Amino acid sequence: MPLTAITYGTFDMFHIGHLRLLERIRGMSDRLIVGVSTDEFNALKGKKAMIAYEERRDIVAALRCVDLVIPEHTWGQKAADIEQYAVGLFAMGGDWAGRFDELKTLCDVAYLERTQGVSSTELRTSLKRVLEKEQDLADMFELLKSLRRGMD
Protein backbone atom coordinates (compact mmCIF):
# COMPACT_ATOMS: atom_id res chain seq x y z
CA MET A 1 0.00 0.00 0.00
CA PRO A 2 1.42 3.45 -0.93
CA LEU A 3 2.60 5.54 2.02
CA THR A 4 1.19 9.06 2.36
CA ALA A 5 3.13 11.58 4.44
CA ILE A 6 1.93 14.92 5.75
CA THR A 7 3.72 17.95 7.13
CA TYR A 8 2.72 21.48 8.08
CA GLY A 9 4.33 24.90 8.07
CA THR A 10 4.04 28.57 7.27
CA PHE A 11 6.71 28.38 4.53
CA ASP A 12 7.22 32.13 4.65
CA MET A 13 10.22 33.42 2.69
CA PHE A 14 10.63 29.99 1.09
CA HIS A 15 14.26 28.89 1.21
CA ILE A 16 16.54 25.89 0.60
CA GLY A 17 15.85 24.50 4.08
CA HIS A 18 12.14 24.26 3.25
CA LEU A 19 12.88 22.55 -0.05
CA ARG A 20 15.30 20.03 1.48
CA LEU A 21 12.86 19.15 4.27
CA LEU A 22 10.00 18.57 1.81
CA GLU A 23 12.22 16.52 -0.50
CA ARG A 24 13.39 14.36 2.41
CA ILE A 25 9.83 13.72 3.56
CA ARG A 26 8.80 12.85 0.00
CA GLY A 27 11.76 10.48 -0.19
CA MET A 28 10.33 8.63 2.81
CA SER A 29 6.88 8.26 1.21
CA ASP A 30 4.97 7.75 -2.01
CA ARG A 31 2.78 10.84 -1.63
CA LEU A 32 3.35 14.14 0.21
CA ILE A 33 0.61 16.41 1.53
CA VAL A 34 1.63 19.81 2.86
CA GLY A 35 -0.55 21.89 5.16
CA VAL A 36 0.31 25.56 4.70
CA SER A 37 -0.69 27.82 7.60
CA THR A 38 -3.27 30.41 6.62
CA ASP A 39 -2.74 34.07 7.47
CA GLU A 40 -5.62 33.81 9.97
CA PHE A 41 -4.03 30.82 11.72
CA ASN A 42 -0.66 32.60 11.83
CA ALA A 43 -2.39 35.56 13.51
CA LEU A 44 -3.76 33.18 16.17
CA LYS A 45 -0.18 31.94 16.69
CA GLY A 46 1.03 35.53 17.06
CA LYS A 47 2.89 35.40 13.73
CA LYS A 48 2.60 37.52 10.61
CA ALA A 49 3.91 36.08 7.38
CA MET A 50 5.63 38.45 4.97
CA ILE A 51 4.14 36.57 2.01
CA ALA A 52 0.37 36.08 1.72
CA TYR A 53 -1.10 32.60 2.21
CA GLU A 54 -2.22 32.27 -1.41
CA GLU A 55 1.29 32.92 -2.71
CA ARG A 56 2.93 30.61 -0.14
CA ARG A 57 0.40 27.91 -1.07
CA ASP A 58 1.15 28.33 -4.77
CA ILE A 59 4.92 28.18 -4.23
CA VAL A 60 4.64 24.93 -2.25
CA ALA A 61 2.15 23.45 -4.75
CA ALA A 62 4.57 24.11 -7.63
CA LEU A 63 7.20 21.78 -6.16
CA ARG A 64 7.63 18.37 -7.84
CA CYS A 65 7.94 16.66 -4.46
CA VAL A 66 4.52 17.91 -3.27
CA ASP A 67 1.37 16.08 -4.34
CA LEU A 68 -1.28 18.10 -2.51
CA VAL A 69 -1.44 21.35 -0.54
CA ILE A 70 -4.16 21.93 2.05
CA PRO A 71 -4.78 24.96 4.27
CA GLU A 72 -3.82 24.69 7.94
CA HIS A 73 -6.51 26.52 9.91
CA THR A 74 -5.96 25.21 13.47
CA TRP A 75 -3.55 23.22 15.64
CA GLY A 76 -6.25 20.61 16.17
CA GLN A 77 -6.91 19.71 12.55
CA LYS A 78 -3.91 17.40 12.24
CA ALA A 79 -5.62 14.26 13.59
CA ALA A 80 -8.61 14.77 11.28
CA ASP A 81 -6.30 15.34 8.29
CA ILE A 82 -4.37 12.15 9.09
CA GLU A 83 -7.59 10.17 9.06
CA GLN A 84 -9.14 11.93 6.05
CA TYR A 85 -6.08 11.43 3.83
CA ALA A 86 -5.08 7.96 5.19
CA VAL A 87 -1.69 9.30 6.30
CA GLY A 88 0.92 6.80 7.43
CA LEU A 89 3.69 9.30 8.27
CA PHE A 90 3.51 12.67 10.01
CA ALA A 91 6.84 14.52 9.65
CA MET A 92 8.13 17.86 10.88
CA GLY A 93 11.46 19.62 11.28
CA GLY A 94 13.53 18.72 14.31
CA ASP A 95 12.74 22.04 16.00
CA TRP A 96 9.27 20.54 16.68
CA ALA A 97 10.63 17.34 18.30
CA GLY A 98 8.18 15.87 20.78
CA ARG A 99 5.43 18.41 20.12
CA PHE A 100 3.23 16.03 18.12
CA ASP A 101 3.95 12.70 19.77
CA GLU A 102 0.24 12.25 20.56
CA LEU A 103 -0.27 11.57 16.84
CA LYS A 104 1.74 8.33 17.18
CA THR A 105 -1.54 6.56 17.95
CA LEU A 106 -2.69 7.44 14.41
CA CYS A 107 0.49 7.07 12.31
CA ASP A 108 4.29 7.11 12.44
CA VAL A 109 5.75 10.44 13.57
CA ALA A 110 9.20 11.64 12.47
CA TYR A 111 11.17 14.76 13.32
CA LEU A 112 13.82 15.48 10.72
CA GLU A 113 17.00 17.46 11.19
CA ARG A 114 16.82 21.02 9.92
CA THR A 115 19.14 22.40 7.26
CA GLN A 116 21.92 24.17 9.14
CA GLY A 117 22.56 27.85 8.59
CA VAL A 118 19.20 28.88 7.17
CA SER A 119 15.82 29.67 8.69
CA SER A 120 12.93 32.01 7.99
CA THR A 121 13.43 33.55 11.44
CA GLU A 122 17.06 34.37 10.63
CA LEU A 123 16.06 35.82 7.25
CA ARG A 124 13.36 38.01 8.84
CA THR A 125 15.78 39.20 11.54
CA SER A 126 18.42 40.13 8.94
CA LEU A 127 15.86 41.92 6.79
CA LYS A 128 14.57 43.83 9.81
CA ARG A 129 18.13 44.96 10.64
CA VAL A 130 18.60 46.22 7.08
CA LEU A 131 15.27 48.06 7.09
CA GLU A 132 16.06 49.68 10.45
CA LYS A 133 19.15 51.17 8.80
CA GLU A 134 17.19 52.44 5.80
CA GLN A 135 18.31 56.06 6.29
CA ASP A 136 21.94 54.95 6.51
CA LEU A 137 21.50 53.10 3.21
CA ALA A 138 19.86 56.13 1.59
CA ASP A 139 22.74 58.32 2.76
CA MET A 140 25.28 55.86 1.35
CA PHE A 141 23.52 55.80 -2.03
CA GLU A 142 23.53 59.62 -2.14
CA LEU A 143 27.24 59.60 -1.36
CA LEU A 144 27.88 57.03 -4.11
CA LYS A 145 25.87 59.12 -6.60
CA SER A 146 27.89 62.23 -5.78
CA LEU A 147 31.14 60.26 -6.14
CA ARG A 148 29.98 58.96 -9.50
CA ARG A 149 29.13 62.48 -10.66
CA GLY A 150 32.65 63.50 -9.72
CA MET A 151 34.01 60.72 -11.94
CA ASP A 152 32.02 61.73 -15.02
Q: What is the pLDDT of residues 74-93, one digit of tens each?
A: 999 999 999 999 999 999 99
- Give dist(CA 98, CA 90) in Å, integer: 12
**Domain edges within the chain:** 4-116, 119-152
Q: What is the pLDDT of residues 110-152, one digit of tens each?
A: 999 887 766 666 666 666 676 676 677 777 777 677 777 767 6
- Answer yes or no: 45 catalytic: yes
What is the pLDDT, as a whole number, of residue 121? 66
The 3-state DSSP class for residue 146 equals helix
Q: What is the pLDDT of residues 10-28, one digit of tens each?
A: 998 888 889 999 999 999 9
What is the pLDDT, as a whole number, of residue 131? 66
What is the pLDDT, as a whole number, of residue 74? 96
Of 45, 104, 133, 145, the catalytic one is 45
Which of 75, 23, 73 has the alpha carbon at shortest distance from 53? 73
- What does the pLDDT average to over 68-76? 97
Q: What is the CATH number of domain 4-116?
A: 3.40.50.620
pTM of this structure: 0.80
Of 47, 48, 104, 128, the catalytic one is 47
Q: What is 102-132 written as a DSSP string? A: GGGGTSEEEEEPPPTT--HHHHHHHHHHHHH
- Name the average pLDDT for the chain: 89
Cα dist from 131 to 52, 118, 120, 123, 124, whole Å: 20, 20, 16, 12, 10
